[in-house]
Structure 1
Amino acid sequence: MRQLSVVVPVHNERDNILPLIDEIVTALRGRADFEIVYVDDLSRDDTLAVLAEARARTPELRVVRHLAQSGQSTAIRTGVKAARGDWIATLDGDGQNDPADIPKLLVLRDGSPADVKLFAGWRVHRQDSGSKRYASRIANAIRRRLLRDDTPDTGCGIKLFERAAFLDLPYFDHMHRYLPALMQRAGWQVRSVPVNHRARGAGSSKYNNLNRALVGIADLRGVAWLIRRSRRTAVEEL
């Protein structure tokens, strides 16, 4: 097993692929045993062709493609299942997350107790529109009050987590927005880490405030139900 797999889900991000891959390689080559797993969620542009070009020059790169568009959570899970690393770092494919933060997360992991299984990025200085930041503040406040996950920013794309712990979580669409609460439900600890955040380099966002809100209401109720119905038991082997 490799030490680290960097999983990047993408849909129609052809202009952001090569710059982001170059940044990941610059941040990690010589510092960690790593691979990069891009998951193409059936892009309609030439994302796949650009990834093929990148793979020819980047030995750490692997490419997985969905045969039906399935959304970001499914793409992340596809990448994690395909990954060969014991630990996973995720990045959004739009380039707003800074790969230079990954080594910092690895250092924090190495200095943390073994029961901390998720290091979640916290966009202290978000480079998004005012309406997007406002909607996010409201959504985060509601989520924290309902789920009590003590996490300031669950929507940040850069995260570091243990692969086995992630695959043990219940899977559902949009689950990537609730990883702190789901990890805590499983009995693990979570740390929020301030990270860099950048303006989108090219292309456009695949979401708007309305569709985020509509799916968020149902998801919050579902995650809250999961938490209420959870039960953990200590186990020993005789």
Structure 2
Amino acid sequence: MNQTADYELSVVIPVYNEQESLHDLFDALIAYKQKASVKVCFLFVNDGSSDNSLNLIKQFCLSATDFYYISLEKRSGLTGALKAGFSEVKSDWVGYMDADLQTFPDDFELLLKNRYQGELICGIRVKRHDSVSKKIQSKLANKIRNLVTHDGISDTNCPLKIGRTNLLNRLPLFSGMHRFLPALVKMTGNRVYTVPVRHQERKHGVSKFNLANRAFSGLEDLFAFAWMRSRYIEPSVAESDLKDR
């Protein structure tokens, strides 16, 4: 039996070459688990790391309870890692956070307190501790994205979210679609709720995103989303006898 079925929340954590951050991440996750208001587990998704990340994850999962991992055959990108993790989860709720620890595991409590306000609960980073150029890039990207998606989310890239597992597993997640989770959820007629969360500077390693891969791939993904939304079909059943027999 898939052990995640025993938990109310399973948190998926994609990992790509984060060996410098993992010890601090492990400590933070253990500290949060001890105070969490629900039974929670953590699922690391090794996304083709070429450093020592996978070995560190294996050692940690062997030594601690409520921690699990999967390792992908080859690098699939953030959306691919999330899709792989979501598909393995059997708990009612699935969460997501990055391995760089720029958001705080404790803030899952803020999302959990509001989990009945929507089917996807999104953190919105306040007091961003990013460089000026990165802040400008993010603001510009969100404005352009909102012109197309109209999802009303000011920080769709915040890597702290929880959602209904059965819903997130039904979403059409193609490469880059992690940027559009709120818009995809709204497209299916479900609710999105936002909650302010904390943010801190990256302490170890380097960001996997830069102006080039944010701007060009982001624009390409935006066109893909617009096309997908224009073709999306949500049939409505008018009559059925499935429950009458």
Q: Same fold, TM exceeding 0.5?
A: yes
3-state DSSP of counterpart to 1:188: coil
Question: Counterpart of 1:201 in structure 2: which amino acid?
Answer: K
The answer to whether 1:108 aligns with 2:114 is yes
Q: When the two structures are superposed, what TM-score results if normalisation uses the length of structure 1? A: 0.94
Shift of 1:49: 1.4
Residue of structure 2 equivalent to 1:5? 10
Residue of structure 1 equivalent to 2:48? 42
The answer to whether 1:57 aligns with 2:84 is no
Q: Is the 8 A contact 1:28 1:103 kept in 2?
A: no
Shift of 1:129: 1.1
Shift of 1:162: 0.9
> Aligned partners of 1:46 and 1:160: how far apart in 2?
28
Alignment of 1:142-181 (within 5 A): 142-181=144-183
Measured on the aligned residues, the alpha-carbon RMSD in Å equals 1.4
Structure 1 runs not aligned, ≥5 long = none
> Aligned partners of 1:152 and 1:83: how far apart in 2?
28
Shift of 1:237: 4.3
Residue of structure 1 equivalent to 2:32? 27
Report the structure number with the largest CA radius of gyration. 2
Shift of 1:191: 1.0
Q: Is the 8 A contact 2:90 2:165 kept in 1?
A: no
Q: Is the 8 A contact 1:10 1:38 kept in 2?
A: yes
Q: When the two structures are superposed, what TM-score results if normalisation uses the length of structure 2? A: 0.91
Residue of structure 2 equivalent to 1:221? 223
Alignment of 1:112-151 (within 5 A): 112=117, 116-151=118-153
Shift of 1:109: 0.7
The aligned length equals 234
Shift of 1:28: 2.9
Shift of 1:58: 1.3
- Determine what percentage of the aligned residue pairs are the same residue: 34
> Aligned partners of 1:79 and 1:21: how far apart in 2?
18
Structure 2 runs not aligned, ≥5 long = none
Shift of 1:173: 0.3
Deviating more after overlay: 16-25 vs 128-137 = 16-25
Aligned residue among 184, 192, 195 for 2:194? 192
Residue of structure 1 equivalent to 2:185? 183
Kindly provide the CA deviation profile for residues 168-187 of structure 1, in whole angstroms up to 9, marking residues without a partner as x: 11120011110010000111
Deviating more after overlay: 98-107 vs 80-89 = 80-89
3-state DSSP of counterpart to 2:119: strand
The answer to whether 1:15 aligns with 2:20 is yes
> Aligned partners of 2:227 and 2:153: how far apart in 1?
19
Deviating more after overlay: 26-35 vs 179-188 = 26-35
